[in-house]
Structure 1
Amino acid sequence: MSKRILHIVTNVAAYENVNQVTGLWLGELTHAYDEFEKKNYIQDIVSPLGGNSPIEPKSLGRFVADESVLKRKNDPAFMKLLENTKKPSEINWQDYDVIYYTGGHGVMWDFLDNSELQEITKNIYEKDGIVSSVCHGYCGLLNVRLSNGQYLIQGKKLTGFAWCEEVLAGVAKKVPYNAEELAKEHGAHYEKKFIPFAPNVVRDGNLITGQNPFSARITAHAIIEALES
């Protein structure tokens, strides 16, 4: 049977209390989507509220929008998927082998405390499925608790968008919290590359995380390796 991937994307289109747009960092979805598609995996896209997932304009910039991004952006069928994402209540977690949280700064607001997504994540993890994220997507993992009450990330190695990368991106004073610090507070063994924005993936059992937008493809490769082994 074909493996099934549950992609999680944001509904948030702007920073709170700041005049700045945001949304899904498109490459973090498309790079992984491409790799899973090569394996003929079944893929679904969910957002906290369902419906439209706005795209972060910066992810379409000339220096970051590669062939993968431009192909999907110009594919009406794929864009329709992002305009009509499913709600968490519309899927059955039992159907999925992997949950994959994408990033973009919007997720800092709608991933952190979403109880429906937390329940899905906990269930997939406790049934030996793969829990994964890239960049800010790990905000969706920071507050997930397992059935024993412990944080899912407690005692686990992981990575995600680093605070130094927030500073270099010029948004450290605009984001609602320091995700790297919160991960450490919840017991994670946070790891990052010495050079900011270098591709980086960290695997700890069935927890697979990528550091930044340039880590999506290698994160997908690590997920595939875990599924196929």
Structure 2
Amino acid sequence: GLIHVSEMSWTKTISDPSEMVNIGDEVEAIVLSIQKDDGKISLGMKQTERNPWEDIEKNYPIGKIVEAEIRNLTNYGAFVELEPGVDGLIHISDLSWIKKVSHPSEMLKKGEKTKAQVLSVDKESKKITLGIKQLSENPWESIEKTMPIGTTVKGVVKKITAFGIFVQLENHVDGLIHINELSDQPIGKIEDIVSVGDPITARVLKIDTENKKISLSMKTDGKKDDIVVGKKKKKTPPKDE
């Protein structure tokens, strides 16, 4: 009888029978069809085992939270094993609401276990997509309520660039203070005002939820309020009249 490569495994893509069996091996198989006229018998090995994809939609409904081992990391995501023969993909875009992840290894490690939420199940194509960021609330959905324009916010200087500083706010969202918004007075180097790691207080100028951007300012607009930089308070010098 003939066991076609497509009938050897439910979960593996077999290109050559030697990947599963060797000459002389005894195997268990089920008769699939008999063609008396041609003297042919078709057999199947995979039919002797349960097809893990048969009840996949029932076992992994959309929204279900699972814990799985990370099997492989690629440029576009992480593959996890949900059960023997059933893998799922966590796409890189579904790792975090706020972090710009360039490679899954920045957040995940092969061999470790992670929790994720089932996003979609394609039984026919044998594909399951999962997400980690869906386990927490998307801060951008409520940011206009929690940090309306004009609100005073606190954060920590995360990065200094030629055009300004990036600040990680208390909700872990990053905001940008442009160099023109760092002080009411002309400045030389940004490093003369702040350093990476400094806690600061700033004011929300603009929120762009679509592009996930927040513009901040440390200017006082002529007010005699204190500007908090690091652990010190700097009195804003009055503008010349």
User: Is this a same-fold pair by TM over 0.5?
Assistant: no
Structure number with the bigger relative contact order (C-alpha 8 A, sep ≥ 6) is 1
TM-score (norm 2): 0.20
Larger Rg over CA atoms: 2
Higher strand share: 2
Please report the TM-score for the alignment, with normalisation by the length of structure 1: 0.21
